Amino acid sequence: MKRRDVIKGLTLLPLAGGVVGSAQAAMAAPAVAEGAGLAGTASASALLGPEVYRALGVEPVINCRGTFTIIGASTLVPEAKEAMYNAQSNYVQLDELAMGVGKKLAELSGAEWGVVSCGCAGGIKISTIAAVTGGNPEKLVRVPDLTGFEKNEVIIPRHSRNTYDHAVRNVGVKVVTVETQEELEAAMNSRTAMIYMMPTTPGDTGPLSVIAISKAAKAKGVPVFVDAAAEALTLKPNVHLADGATVVAYSGGKAIRGPQSAGLLLGDKKFLMATWQSSAPHHGAGRDNKVGKEEQIGMLAAVEAWTKRNHAQEEIAWTGYLETISKRVSAIAGITTKIRQPEGLDNRTPNLNISWDPSTFNATGQDIATYLSTTTPRIALSAGGGGRGAAGAANLTSISVAAFMMQPGDDKIVAERIFAALSMKRPPVPEMKAPAADIKGRWEVTVEYFRETSKHTFFIEQQDSNWLKGSHKSTFTTNELEGTIEGNEVKFRSASKLLADNVPFTFSGTLTGDSMSGNIHHGEYLTSKFTAKKYIQPSSRQKIVVPTGPPLSS
């Protein structure tokens, strides 16, 4: 799974992967409710113990989904834990520390230099600052006002545009999007500060590959930045640096299992010295991207541990977790399982796919994923497959278990939880209630955000019994709208889609006459509320007079 594919999941619920399925009501009530956990009974000292999250009323999650930041990404390797504990006991001058860490990272990686950044996104930002300033502090303190800067453009291939390139745009540069190798080469000029891109297959020489882009960029003196955030780390040589990239960036808290708030930058020393200058503790636009002494040392320790980890044995252990789960759930008639071994470097993990006919089990993959994420012990996994329908391969639904963030013993818990969820007897999904009204037409919508009220419009153009289609005019865009009405309960879905961003709108509300109201779920952007009033077109019934000559006044 590529990082840009993972981004699609950001429009969905962080744990279950989507909205609550209709079979949810047939399952046990969620155990994770307001006030759940030990908040009412735990003493302050619980914050010092293993129940730290439950002491705050927050139920931990078994991670069978992946290194998503929103669920804590990864766990620290023991070496990083110990190193960070030791680092916090003393003071140190941070520039001196960065030089020592940079040299050691170079020794471990085979790269010319290394920098620990504030997450991978922070690394993208301070590298972009370095690209436009060249290490000149007079320029640094002016960012993001790039007036008078010789270099103020960053080229990004269209296939690499994603939500994370906000870190590039935050610097104030003009982003130039290209679709072909020829367009990229024509776009490079004296204003080009950097090329930002996602990884391509190591060794690939095709158009817009790291090799092809780096070769063309080197001829014009343009640095190439590769965002390999979720990849497994490669050292001596790093595959992307070997393919010609100037700098490659990794998330510290994903596969490397260092501090989640840290990132790793490897590559050209002069470029990375300007990058370090662009970050905290140095003042300027990167001052907010602080990396503490503990993160510096923890990240270094995690990289050192990476060089000693038995990665092949780890993947065997991960596959063993999935085999335990597969064996347990395969005992249920009608369940099919398949373990897929990893390919490539991105989000490298074996995955277990568990599939079934939703019409036989009266539950979709989304129903099961939602149930497991909202009852204890909580399990985060992915859902896939089609919806309910007649039996047949085309209608299979599924859940997917990713192994590489699971902890020893999690496999047995997950196996029993999935077995129980799929063994539950559920009534057939009831027929949809007849719609309470025909709601075609224009609706004036008021959206209440945390500190702003915004005016939107629904244009419901089609109503085929329960099914609705139309458009949704939001603050800046007009989006396709689809939805349902069951009785007086309405649900709509749309998304404000931009080249590198997607703001989802999932409306759920109640119809009362010519009004409706309810809630909006925005995926990773939390929630808001809405009210809507049907627009009644005034009719004056006045005849229209067509002018017969030129106007005699204006």
Can you give the CATH number for the domain in which 244 is found? 3.40.640.10
Q: How far is CA 179 from CA 161, 167, 169, 550, in A?
A: 11, 21, 19, 51
Which pLDDT band holds residue 209 (cuts at 50, 70, 90)?
A: very high
Question: Is 280 within a domain?
Answer: yes
Least-confidence region, from 31-45, 67-81, 334-348: 31-45
Do the domain assignments include residue 7? yes
What is the DSSP secondary structure assignment for residue 475, as one 8-state letter?
S
Give the model's pLDDT for residue 23: 39
Contacts of 199 (CB under 8 A, 6+ apart): 210, 226, 227, 228, 231, 240, 345, 346
Q: Give CA–CA dist 265/24, Å, rounded.
A: 44
Look at residue 256 and tell me if it is in a domain: yes
Instruction: Judge if 95 and 197 occupy the same domain.
Output: yes
Look at residue 26 in the predicted model and tell me its pLDDT.
39
pLDDT at 198: 97
Residues 127 and 30 in one domain: no
Question: Domain containing 463 — which CATH number?
Answer: 2.40.128.120
Q: 47-61, 81-95, 462-476, 495-509: lowest mean pLDDT where?
A: 47-61
- 546, part of any domain: no
Grouping H, G, I as helix, E, B as strand and the rest as coil, residue 533 is strand
Residue 185 belongs to domain spanning: 78-306
- Could you give phi then psi for residue 177, rounded to 5 degrees? -95, 130
What residue type is assigned to position 530 of the chain?
F
397 lies in a domain? yes
Number of alpha helices (DSSP H) and beta strands (DSSP E) in the chain? 15, 21
172: left (phi over 0), alpha (psi -120 to 50) or beta: left
pLDDT score, position 5: 53
| Alpha carbon 553 to chain centroid, angstroms | 60
Domain end position, chosen among 239, 273, 306: 306
Residue 489 clears pLDDT 60, i.e. is over it:
yes
**407 pLDDT exceeds 60?**
yes
Give the mean pLDDT of 53-58.
91
The tens digit of pLDDT for each residue in 117-143 reads: 999 999 999 999 999 999 999 999 999
How many domains in the chain? Answer: 3
Per-residue pLDDT at 352 exceeds 60: yes
Six token digits for residue 486: 């069951």
| DSSP H/E element including 192 | strand 192-197
Do 408 and 269 share a structural domain?
no
Q: Where would I find the H helices in 29-68?
A: none
Residue 460 pLDDT grade (very low, low, confident, very high; cuts 50, 70, 90): very high
Residue 428 falls inside a structural domain: no
Please indicate, yes or no, if residue 433 is contained in any of the structural domains: no
| Whether residues 343 and 448 fall in one domain | no
β-pair type (174-178, 153-157):
parallel
* pTM for the whole structure: 0.88
pLDDT of 14 reads: 43
Contact assessment for residue 515 and residue 534, using Cβ atoms and an 8 Å cutoff = yes
CATH assignment at residue 406 = 3.90.1150.180
Residues 273 and 346 in one domain: no
User: 67 and 113: one domain?
Assistant: no
Domain co-membership, 323 together with 277: no
Say whether both 381 and 273 belong to one domain: no
For residues 332 and 554, the model is more confident at: 332
Same domain, yes or no: 333 and 184: no
Residues 191 and 288 in one domain: yes
From 390, 423, 456, give the residue that closes a domain.
Answer: 423
Both 233 and 191 in one domain: the answer is yes
Q: Is the pLDDT of residue 17 over 50?
A: no
Does residue 374 fall inside a structural domain? yes
Domain co-membership, 50 together with 92: no
Helix (H, G, I), strand (E, B) or coil at 485: strand
Task: Report the distance separating Cα 76 and Cα 378, nearest Å.
Answer: 21
Give the model's pLDDT for residue 539.
Answer: 76
How far, in Å, CA of 515 to CA of 533, rounded? Answer: 5
